[in-house]
């Protein structure tokens, strides 16, 4: 059963499909071109994963010449190199992200996401097909970095590791294989047209019959590289689709190529006619040209979203003993950062204070905080729990890594997306319809003129363009995401745009959302605060990121703080601290168990107690954002508007007068109450957009149909949110909503445009009035026209709605 025979030649490797010209290895009645491919098969066979070979014919790449260089990854044993490459590490597991250019098909994804079955040291792996990246979690005691890279390389997916390029962002490039095939198709097509020139001008009789045959035979030779090389991707795609008992948009294209080639051979060798080899060359040339245009356009959309700070985070940096809030892009190695409770760790840092607790649930899924001591490394993506601390940056921050955390499937809402599945369904039905029409035309014309029948059959298959239907949605939504990003609304994915367009209810948090802490007025009532009390208050409010704490912090001004013994924040209630054995509380009346009971009060009350004795209270009257009235008024014409607030109802009358568009007011709402309210709206069929601060409202944002976290300083992000809105863009929320609805109309209009094109084109094609080469030109042009239409339409609509006036920093 198991034997090796090096003397058998001219076979194909069972794993990679390469020819074994000199020798081959026989193993379990299968041929392998090298020990590497044989090893891969053994690994898959031992782990019961041989259904891998049923998914794709040619996964990975050949392992020739690689097995002899087993020591070339020894440099990965260096701890410094490992530190540069890892994303996260604790006592049990390590996370890496690799760029693997050889990811190209469904089998690649399947195999890479099943690495844990091949090697028990792999905990999990996730592939990003568009960016050709794989994120892998490994067990520290079972697998090393070098062993992981060797494993990937042995399977045919060697990571591209270039330490000098770490952290740099490169513009995506078009697929080199596609460019090479385009070059071959272009060369052959150009010469075919030259040899067919007499046919175009009806001057064939001027040529000697021998020359006519020579030109025809030369066209046949030039067609071979096109049919057997330039069109390979279409064959693979169509074959894989048929193996799964499905029909994709490449099936009719392949049928057209085969029919045109075989009929031309019949015409040239049997009837001594010119055939349609030049049309075949033009078909592949223009198809590949359109394909490259699509790749470059979509890659540009993805690049621009990432390059323009698609996911911004601001941080507090110490510089010359002063604090300054800066964007993440300006953070450098060696900077000292101040991180407060619940804030994100934006980069790998070394702790400067004695100790802290870090929640790595966004990274590992484990919610138990990890204790970090002075001098230890803290990884990006963790969230601080407890007292504010200082840390120094050890590794340049990666917005791409933070974005990956935000997009983690663990935090994705299970919501249906309408337009993308719709376009896929339409494309599938359309493809079957085109095949039916093409065969009907062939049968109809066969009774009178078989040549016209073949011409009509091929023309219908080529001129029909279901790919335009499939392209309209991703290109429209991709450009919309980019426009939103320019205006400082950063959405998680394109599906959020669709849900925004379907929304019928807006729910606003009050404090820090409709109100602006910078415009709030504050008055203190009670005993005069001593210097010691002020310093204790300063230490407490600086611990919190709540808008009311920030306002009190500003009121206290620059004053030295105390090192508190302990402090804890009760979400939506207040702060509790201990200093020199005494208990201090700052928060609501319920939290401090003190009732002020004055009807004349018009603002939020924040009580300050020492050992349950009321010292005084702050009356904070919220100042509305200057755009709040206009935003609510415009939105009320389209949606029902609710207000949720954790504050008392002192300001109900004032808010009703200034914001008459709000239909429901709910005060004294805890974070759980807000979550329950969003759940009730969902139960009653409402599709609500929740706008809150992203921290106290995390549960409500998760429960909403669309959750948007609004913030003045983008240092808090939550996987619960579908989008992050910079407070500077609060005034254009109605334009965002209107634009999302217009985007849906653009997609529908592009569907209609594509249908009109196909109906007109097919109607001429079935009559045999269109030549295959003309159809070959029209097909990619239709795709390009859809891209241009969706891009220009969204840009024009955005310009009319004033969304090109603001540009993100």
Beta bridge partners of 708: 691, 723
Report which secondary-structure segment, H or E, holds 302.
helix 277-307
**CATH among 3.30.465.10, 3.40.50.720, 2.70.150.10, 3.30.70.2740 for 314-409:** 2.70.150.10
Q: In Å, how far from its chain's centre is CA 52?
A: 27
- DSSP code per residue over 407-426: T-GGG------SHHHHHHHH
pLDDT at 180: 87
Whether the predicted pLDDT of 424 surpasses 50: yes
pLDDT at 426: 64
Domain 485-513+625-740 classification at class level = alpha beta
- DSSP code per residue over 457-498: HHHHHHH--HHHHHHHHHHHHHHHHHHHHHTTEEESSTHHHH
Span 135-151, mean pLDDT? 89
Q: How far apart are CA 706 and CA 502, in angstroms?
A: 10
- Structure confidence at residue 1 as a pLDDT band (50, 70, 90): very low
Q: How far apart are CA 528 and CA 616, in angstroms?
A: 8
Q: How far apart are CA 191 and CA 394, in angstroms?
A: 59
Half-sphere exposure for 142 (CA within 13 Å, toward CB): 13
Q: Residues 667, 691: contact at Cβ < 8 Å?
A: no
Residue 313 or residue 615, greater confidence: 615
Whether the predicted pLDDT of 700 surpasses 60: yes
- Classify the C-alpha dihedral 490-495-501-502 as positive or negative: negative
Q: What is the dihedral of CA 99, 105, 109, 110, to 10 degrees?
A: -150
Beta bridge partners of 706: 689
Q: How far apart are CA 49 and CA 47, in angstroms?
A: 5
Per-residue pLDDT of 454-482, as tens digits, reads: 778 877 877 776 655 666 777 788 788 88
3-state secondary structure of 405: helix
What is the distance in angstroms between the CA of the first residue and the CA of the last residue of the chain?
66
- Structure confidence at residue 224 as a pLDDT band (50, 70, 90): very high
Q: What is the DSSP letter of 47?
A: T
> Exposed (0-12), middle (13-18) or buried (19+): which is 298, by Cβ within 10 Å?
middle
Question: Phi first, then psi: what are they for 85, rounded to 5°?
Answer: -90, -25
Print the SS3 string covering 585-650.
EEECHHHHCCCCCCCCCCCEEEEEEECCEEEEEEEEEEEECCCHHHHHHHHHCCCEEEEECCCCHH
pLDDT at 392: 92
- The CATH fold assigned to 515-623 is Calcium-transporting ATPase, cytoplasmic domain N (3.40.1110)
- Structure confidence at residue 247 as a pLDDT band (50, 70, 90): low
Of 727, 743, 803, 794, give the one whose Cα is nearest residue 325: 727
Per-residue pLDDT of 738-797, as tens digits, reads: 999 988 888 888 888 877 877 888 888 888 777 666 766 676 677 677 778 888 888 899
pLDDT at 174: 54
> Could you tell me the residue ranges of all domains in the chain?
11-52, 173-296, 314-409, 423-484+741-809, 485-513+625-740, 515-623
Residues whose CB is less than 8 angstroms from the CB of residue 105 and which lie 6 or more positions away in sequence, other chains included: 55, 56, 59, 236, 240
pLDDT at 739: 92
Per-residue pLDDT of 93-116, as tens digits, reads: 888 888 887 776 656 777 788 888
pLDDT at 609: 93
Q: Residues 372, 339: contact at Cβ < 8 Å?
A: no
The pTM for the full model equals 0.64
Of 690, 723, 700, 703, give the one whose Cα is nearest residue 492: 723
- Structure confidence at residue 734 as a pLDDT band (50, 70, 90): very high
**Edge-to-edge, what's the strand order for the sheet holding 688-692?**
489-491, 723-726, 706-711, 688-692, 505-509, 640-644, 664-666
Q: Residues 679, 703: contact at Cβ < 8 Å?
A: yes
CB atoms within 10 A of CB 352: 14
- Structure confidence at residue 733 as a pLDDT band (50, 70, 90): very high
Same fold, 485-513+625-740 and 515-623: no
Task: Give me 802's structure tokens.
Answer: 């004033």
Q: How far apart are CA 275 and CA 37, in angstroms?
A: 43
Whether the predicted pLDDT of 3 surpasses 60: no
Per-residue pLDDT of 593-609, as tens digits, reads: 877 766 556 667 889 99
Beta bridge partners of 642: 507, 664
- Structure confidence at residue 487 as a pLDDT band (50, 70, 90): confident
């Amino acid at each position: 059963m198991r034997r090796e025979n090096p003397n058998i030649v001219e076979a194909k490797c069972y794993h990679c499909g390469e020819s074994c010209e000199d020798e081959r290895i026989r193993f379990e009645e299968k041929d392998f071109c090298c020990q590497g491919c044989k090893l891969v098969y053994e690994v898959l066979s031992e782990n019961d994963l041989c259904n891998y070979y049923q998914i794709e014919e040619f996964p990975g790449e050949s392992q020739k010449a690689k097995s002899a260089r087993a020591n070339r990854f020894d440099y990965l044993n260096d701890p410094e190199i490992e530190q540069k490459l890892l994303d996260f590490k604790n006592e049990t597991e390590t996370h890496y992200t690799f760029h693997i250019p050889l990811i190209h098909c469904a089998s690649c994804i399947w195999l890479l996401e099943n690495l844990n079955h091949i090697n028990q040291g792999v905990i999990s792996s996730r592939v990003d097909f568009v960016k050709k990246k794989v994120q892998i979690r490994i067990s520290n005691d079972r697998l090393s970095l070098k062993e992981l890279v060797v494993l990937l390389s042995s399977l045919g997916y060697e990571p591209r590791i270039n330490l000098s390029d770490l952290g740099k962002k490169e513009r995506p490039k078009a697929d080199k294989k596609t460019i090479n095939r385009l070059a071959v198709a272009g060369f052959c097509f150009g010469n075919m047209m030259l040899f067919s020139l007499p046919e175009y001008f009806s001057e064939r009789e001027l040529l000697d019959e021998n020359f006519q045959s020579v030109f025809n035979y030369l066209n046949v030779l030039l067609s071979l590289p096109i049919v057997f090389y330039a069109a390979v991707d279409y064959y693979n795609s169509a074959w894989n689709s048929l193996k799964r008992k499905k029909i994709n948009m490449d099936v009719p294209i392949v049928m057209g190529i085969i029919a045109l080639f075989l009929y031309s051979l019949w015409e040239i060798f049997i009837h001594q006619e010119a055939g349609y080899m030049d049309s075949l060359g033009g078909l592949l040339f223009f198809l590949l040209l359109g394909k490259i245009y699509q790749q470059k356009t979509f890659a540009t959309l993805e690049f621009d979203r990432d390059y323009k700070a698609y996911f911004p985070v601001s941080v507090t940096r110490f510089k010359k003993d002063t604090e300054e809030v800066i964007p993440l892009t300006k953070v450098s190695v060696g900077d000292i950062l101040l991180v407060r409770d619940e804030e994100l760790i934006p980069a790998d840092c070394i702790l400067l204070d004695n100790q802290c607790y870090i929640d790595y649930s966004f990274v590992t899924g484990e919610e138990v905080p990890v204790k970090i001591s002075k001098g230890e490394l803290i990884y990006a993506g963790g969230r601080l729990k407890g007292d504010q601390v200082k840390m120094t940056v050890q590794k340049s921050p990666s917005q791409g890594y933070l974005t990956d955390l935000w997009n983690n499937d663990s935090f994705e809402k299970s919501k249906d997306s309408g337009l993308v599945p719709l376009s896929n369904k339409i494309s599938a039905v359309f493809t079957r319809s085109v095949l039916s029409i093409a065969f009907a035309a062939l049968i109809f014309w066969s009774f009178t003129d078989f040549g016209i029948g073949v011409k009509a059959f091929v023309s219908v298959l080529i001129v029909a363009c279901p790919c335009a239907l499939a392209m309209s949605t991703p290109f429209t939504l991709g450009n919309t995401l980019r426009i939103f990003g320019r205006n400082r609304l950063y959405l998680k994915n394109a599906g959020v745009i669709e849900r925004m367009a379907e929304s019928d209810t807006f729910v606003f948090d009050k404090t820090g959302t409709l109100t602006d802490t910078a415009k709030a007025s504050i008055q203190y009532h009670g005993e005069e605060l001593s210097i010691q009390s002020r310093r204790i208050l300063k230490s407490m409010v600086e611990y919190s990121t709540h808008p009311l704490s920030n306002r009190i912090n500003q009121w206290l001004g620059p004053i030295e703080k105390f090192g508190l013994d302990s402090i804890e924040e009760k979400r939506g209630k207040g702060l509790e601290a201990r200093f020199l054995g005494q208990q201090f509380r700052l928060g609501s009346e319920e939290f401090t168990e003190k009732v002020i009971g004055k009807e004349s009060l018009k603002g939020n009350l924040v009580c300050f107690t020492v050992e349950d004795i009321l010292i005084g209270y702050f009356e904070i009257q919220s100042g509305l954002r200057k755009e709040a009235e206009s935003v609510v008024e415009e939105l009320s014409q389209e949606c029902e508007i609710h207000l949720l607030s954790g504050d008392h109802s002192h300001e109900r009358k004032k808010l009703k007068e200034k914001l008459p568009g709000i239909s429901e007011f709910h005060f004294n709402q805890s974070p759980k109450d807000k979550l329950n309210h969003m759940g009730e709206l969902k139960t009653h069929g409402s599709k609500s957009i929740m706008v809150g601060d992203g921290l106290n409202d995390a549960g409500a944002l998760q429960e909403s149909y669309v959750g948007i976290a609004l913030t003045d300083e983008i240092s808090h992000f939550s996987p619960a949110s579908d989008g992050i809105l910079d407070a500077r863009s609060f005034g254009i929320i109605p334009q965002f909503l209107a634009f999302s609805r217009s985007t849906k109309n653009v997609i529908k209009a592009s569907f209609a445009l594509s249908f009109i094109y196909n109906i007109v084109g097919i109607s001429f094609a079935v009559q045999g009035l269109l030549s295959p080469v003309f159809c070959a030109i029209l097909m990619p042009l239709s795709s390009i026209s859809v891209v241009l239409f969706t891009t220009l339409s969204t840009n024009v609509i955005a310009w009319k709605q004033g969304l090109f006036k603001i540009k993100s920093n």
